[in-house]
Structure 1
Amino acid sequence: MSATRRQVLARTGALTAGIAFTGAFSELFAGTAAARGHHTGYGPLVPDPAGLLDLPKGFRYRVLSREGEPLSSGEGRVPSNHDGMAAFAGRRGRVHLVRNHENRVDAAISVPTVKGLTYDPMGKGGCTSLELDGRGNVLSERVAIAGTAVNCAGGPTPWGTWLTCEETEDKAGTNGYTKDHGFVFEVHGADPQRTGAVPLTAMGRFQHEAIAVDPQSGIIYETEDAFQRPFGLFYRFLPNRPLGGTRSLRAGGELEAMRVPGVPDLSAIQEPGASFDRIEWVPVPDSQAKQTPIRLQDFGPKGITHAQKLEGCYWGGRSVYFVSSFARSGEGSAADHFGQVWKYEPHRRRLTLVIAFGPSTDIQLPGESPDNICLAPSGGLMVCEDGSGAQHVYGLTKSGTVYAMARGRQNIGTPEAPEWGEFAGVTFSPDGETMYVNCYTPGTTFAVTGPWG
Structure 2
Amino acid sequence: MDRRTLLRAAVAGGAAAFSGSLWAGAAVAAPAQPGPSPYGPLGTADANGIRLPAGFTSRIIARSRQTVAGTSYTWHDAPDGGACFPAGTGWIYVSNSEITPNGGASAVRFNADGSIASAYRILSGTNQNCAGGATPWATWLSCEEVSLGYVYETYPQGGTTAVRRAAMGRFKHEAAACDPDRKVIYLTEDETNGCFYRFRPTNWGDLSAGTLEVLVAGTATSGPVTWAPVPDPSAASTLTRSQVSGAKRFNGGEGCWYADGTCWFTTKGDNRVWAYDAVNQRISLAYDDSLVSGTAPLTGVDNITGARSGDLYVAEDGGDMEICLITPDEVVAPFLKITGQSSSEICGPAFSPDGTRFYFSSQRGTSGSSSGGITYEVRGPFR
Alignment TM-score, normalising by the size of structure 2: 0.84
CA distance in 2, matches of 1:397, 1:303: 33
User: Secondary structure at 1:424's aligned position in 2?
Assistant: strand
Aligned residue identity for 1:188: Y
Match of 1:132 among 93, 106, 110: 110
Aligned residue in 2 for 1:275: 223
Asked whether the equivalents of residues 51 and 410 of structure 1 are also in contact (C-alpha less than 8 Å), the reply is no
- How do 1:11-50 residues align onto structure 2 when only pairs under 5 Å count? 32-33=16-17, 40-50=37-47
Partner of 1:103: 99
Match of 1:308, SS state, is: coil
Which one of 175, 186, 190 corresponds to residue 157 of structure 2?
A: 190
CA contact (8 A) 1:408 1:420 kept: no
Gaps of at least 5 residues in structure 1 are: 1-24, 105-122, 171-181, 328-337, 412-418
Deviation at 1:130? 0.3
Are residues 402 and 256 of structure 1, via their aligned partners in 2, closer, same or farther at CA, if it must alter by over 3 Å?
Answer: closer
Distance in 2 separating the partners of 1:87 and 1:232: 28
Deviation at 1:153, TM superposition (A): 0.7
Q: CA shift at 1:376, angstroms?
A: 1.4
Q: Are residue 339 (structure 1) and residue 272 (structure 2) matched?
A: yes
SS of 2:104's equivalent? strand
Are the structure 2 counterparts of residues 49 and 159 from structure 1 closer, same or farther at C-alpha, using a change threshold of 3 Å?
closer
1:259 partnered with 2:207: no
SS in 2 for 1:148: coil
- In the TM superposition, what are the counterparts of 1:135-284 in structure 2 within 5 Å? 135-169=113-147, 182-191=149-158, 193-194=159-160, 196-227=161-192, 231-242=193-204, 244=205, 248-250=206-208, 252-260=209-217, 263=218, 265=219, 269-270=220-221, 274-276=222-224, 279-284=225-230
2:302 aligns with: 371
2:262 is matched with: 319
**Residue 51 of structure 2, aligned match among 54, 66, 71:** 54
What secondary structure does 1:47 align onto? strand
Q: Which residue of 2 is the match for residue 425 of structure 1?
A: 348
Higher strand share: 2
Counterpart-to-counterpart distance in 2, 1:51 and 1:314: 28
CA distance in 2, matches of 1:356, 1:79: 33
Match of 1:444 in 2: 374
Shift of 1:32: 4.2
CA distance in structure 1 between the partners assigned to 2:174 and 2:293 by the alignment:
26
Structure 2 residue matching 1:54: 3-state secondary structure: strand
Aligned equivalent of 1:64, options 61, 65, 71:
61
| Pick aligned residue for 2:288 from 356, 360, 363 | 356
- Give the structure 2 partner of residue 294 of structure 1: 240
Aligned residues between the structures: 352
**1:233 partner letter:** C
Cα RMSD, aligned residues only: 2.5
Structure 2 Cα separation of the partners of residues 199 and 438 of structure 1: 25
Matches of residues 378-397 of structure 1 in structure 2 within 5 Å? 378-388=309-319, 390-397=320-327
Larger Rg belongs to: 1
Residue 435 (1) aligns with residue 368 (2): no
Distance in 1 of aligned mates of 2:277 and 2:352: 27
Taking every aligned residue pair, what percent have the same amino acid on both sides? Answer: 33
Structure 2 gap ranges (5+) = 24-35, 366-372
SS of the equivalent of 1:367 reads: coil
Conserved? CA contact 1:41–1:395, under 8 Å: no
Moved more, 281-290 or 95-104: 281-290
Separation (CA, whole Å) in 2 of partners of 1:422 and 1:326: 15
Residue aligning to 1:116: none
Kindly state the Cα deviation for residue 158 of structure 1 after the two structures are TM-superposed.
0.6
Query: Contact conserved, 2:37 with 2:334, CA < 8 A, in 1?
Result: no
2:324 match: secondary structure: strand
Distance across 1 between alignment mates of 2:288 and 2:46: 36
Deviation at 1:73, TM superposition (A): 6.0
Partner residue in 1 for 2:32: none
Q: Is the 8 A contact 1:236 1:255 kept in 2?
A: yes
What CA deviation, in whole Å up to 9, does each residue of 1:6-42 have, x standing for no partner?
xxxxxxxxxxxxxxxxxxx98xx897446699x9422
Q: Residue 99 of structure 1 aligns to a residue in which SS?
A: strand
CA distance in 1, matches of 2:285, 2:379: 34
What is residue 368 of structure 2 aligned with on the other side? Answer: none
Tell whether the 8 Å contact from 1:52 to 1:409 is kept in structure 2 after alignment: yes
- From the superposition, tell whether residues 103 and 362 of structure 1 become closer, same or farther in structure 2 (CA, over 3 Å): farther
Cα–Cα, structure 1 residues 187 and 66, in superposed 2: closer, same or farther, change >3 Å? same
Relative to structure 1, is the Cα distance of residues 350 and 48 closer, same or farther in structure 2, using a 3 angstrom cutoff?
Answer: closer
- Tell me the TM-score normalized by structure 1: 0.72
Deviation at 1:312, TM superposition (A): 1.8
Structure 2: how far apart are the matches of 1:409 and 1:280? 43
* Deviation readout 1:172-220 (Å, 9 max, x if unpaired): xxxxxxxxxx0101111112x32x1321000000001111111123211
Judging changes above 3 Å, is the alpha-carbon distance between structure 1 residues 81 and 214 closer, same or farther for their aligned structure 2 residues?
A: same
